[in-house]
Amino acid sequence: MKAICWMGKNDVRLEEVPDPRILDPRDAIIRVTSTAICGSDLHLYGGFVQTMKKGDILGHEFMGEVVETGSEVRNLQKGDRVVVPFPIACGKCFSCQKGLFSVCENSNPNAWMAEKMWGHSPAGIFGYSHLTGGFAGGQAEYARVPFADVGPLKVPAEMADDQVLFLSDIFPTGYMGAEMCSIEPGDTVAVWGCGPVGQFAMKSALLLGAERVIGIDRFPDRLRMAREKIGVEIVDYEETDPLEFLKETTGGRGPDGCIDAVGMEAHTPGVLYAYDRTKQAIMGETDRPIALRQAVTACRNGGTVSVIGVYGGLVDKFPMGSVMNKSLTMRAGQCHVQRYMRPLLERIQKGEIDPSFVITHRLRLEDGPQGYEMFREKAENCIKIVLKTNGIEAEGGRMIH
């Protein structure tokens, strides 16, 4: 089959690889129909995540049709159309039974690696380095899905791929980011990063009852999407200092909830960026926590900072004094996708949201490598790329610019 493989830093290619096969009775094989490139795939692409190996199949946002099931998978049948959550979770361990699927205790065969870095290991993740298991990803014609009796969600035939694909990651991730803010009526929520996850975090904050939502970014098309498609206020941080703006617009109090949807490769104008970039280059820190520092500093006394942007290792100059003295609550995590898929599917069915609004490009799987480059460069106002294996026309889609 054809698959998009990581071949080195800034080098992904379409390769011919063996077809996946059932390795465990709880596996299923999916024929992928749609798969997306995630912002976090760019961290892998740029070589910011350790333990990648030449030839790794990428991709953790995918859906398709079940073509084979292991003997223990009784909830799925050949021909079922399913969306696959990106964290691999066993459904049997302490974490899974608490609904904390992204920290499943069993699904990472390389748990020892992650333990050395983080103390404990999170769940395995499709196509996301060997630190999270060395699982082949879903940017391919077929994919093996472990614990298929736990994760995949069957979707109704009348719903298009583009409407439900993002239940695999970015919609639940954004939603969890908003949910972690414990939003109350009248709350103001600020979101750093208006990429696809940030867009879903903003939309979810509104769905959860926030009165004001403010999106912060520097790319005009992303800010425009936030304003026009979601209807939130926007701040271009290259023109306006977000800290000053947020303070002023809340009468000096600060936002009740602050969501970091940026993660380890943040930018900022001026010397601070140069400082962090340099520290990163000389391995003095692995992540640039620029958005995170701002979120902590901006947050109101007793407010919540919610981190859904991806971090990998160590950060420098973290304002812990602000967290402690302002009585902040900090919450974070890879999304426990499995627990949000059903309720969010219902929200889509009720028409509360159509997640396909973030899609700017639909490409053939074969064009994935160009997609990565385009996404990294933010060329052609690229915000979200979906790769199709059936041909673009089959989905009734077209290239949108």
Partner 1 sequence: MERRIGERRQGRRSASQSDRVEPLAKSLGWFSIGLGVAEVAAPGKIAQLIGLGNQPGRRALLRFYGIREIAAGIGILSGRRTDGWMWGRVAGDVMDIATLGSAMSSDDTNRTRLATAAAAVLGITALDMYCGRELVRTAPTNHRMSFKKTIIINRPREETYSFWRDLENLPRFMERLESVQVRSETLSRWRARAPAGVNLEWDSEIIRDEPNSLIAWRSVEGAQMKTSGSVRFETATGKRGTLVTLEVEYSPPGGAIGAGIAKLLGAEPGQQVENGLRRMKQILETGDIVRSEASIHHRMHAAQPPAEFEEKILGEGWRTHQLPAEHGRTFRGEEAL
Residues at the site binding partner 1, with contacts judged by CB under 8 A: 3, 5, 17-21, 23-26, 53-57, 72, 75, 85, 89-94, 96-97, 99, 101, 105-112, 124, 127, 130, 133-137, 144, 146-147, 149-151, 153, 336-343
Q: What crossing angle do the helices spanning 290-298 and 271-281 adopt, rounded to 10°? A: 130
Q: How far is the CB of 283 from partner 1 (least distance, A)?
A: 14
Element (H, E) at 215: strand 212-217
Q: Which residue, 336 or 362, is less far from partner 1 as judged by CB?
A: 336
User: DSSP strand E in 95-179: where?
Assistant: 124-125, 142-145, 153-154
Adjacency order of strands within the sheet including 56-57: 11-16, 2-8, 56-57
Q: Which residue, 9 or 53, is less far from partner 1 as judged by CB?
A: 53
Q: Are 226 and 196 in contact (CB under 8 A)?
A: no
End-to-end CA distance of the chain: 30
Q: Are 89 and 104 in contact (CB under 8 A)?
A: yes
Please tell me whether residue 219 adopts helix, strand or coil conformation.
coil
Q: How far is the CB of 350 from partner 1 (least distance, A)?
A: 16
Q: Which residue, 54 or 401, is less far from partner 1 as judged by CB?
A: 54
Q: How far is the CB of 261 from partner 1 (least distance, A)?
A: 22
CA distance 192 to 266: 10
Q: How far is the CB of 58 from partner 1 (least distance, A)?
A: 9
Q: Which residue, 2 or 212, is less far from partner 1 as judged by CB?
A: 2
Q: How far is the CB of 187 from partner 1 (least distance, A)?
A: 21
Give how far the C-alpha of residue 342 lies from the chain's centroid of Cα atoms, to the nearest Å.
18
Q: Are 85 and 151 in contact (CB under 8 A)?
A: yes
Q: Which residue, 140 or 305, is less far from partner 1 as judged by CB?
A: 140
Q: Which residue, 117 or 243, is less far from partner 1 as judged by CB?
A: 117
Q: How far is the CB of 122 from partner 1 (least distance, A)?
A: 14
What are residue 288's DSSP bridge partners?
A: 265
CA distance 218 to 235: 8
Q: Which residue, 106 or 304, is less far from partner 1 as judged by CB?
A: 106
CA distance 263 to 284: 17
Q: How far is the CB of 330 from partner 1 (least distance, A)?
A: 23
Q: Are 56 and 5 in contact (CB under 8 A)?
A: yes
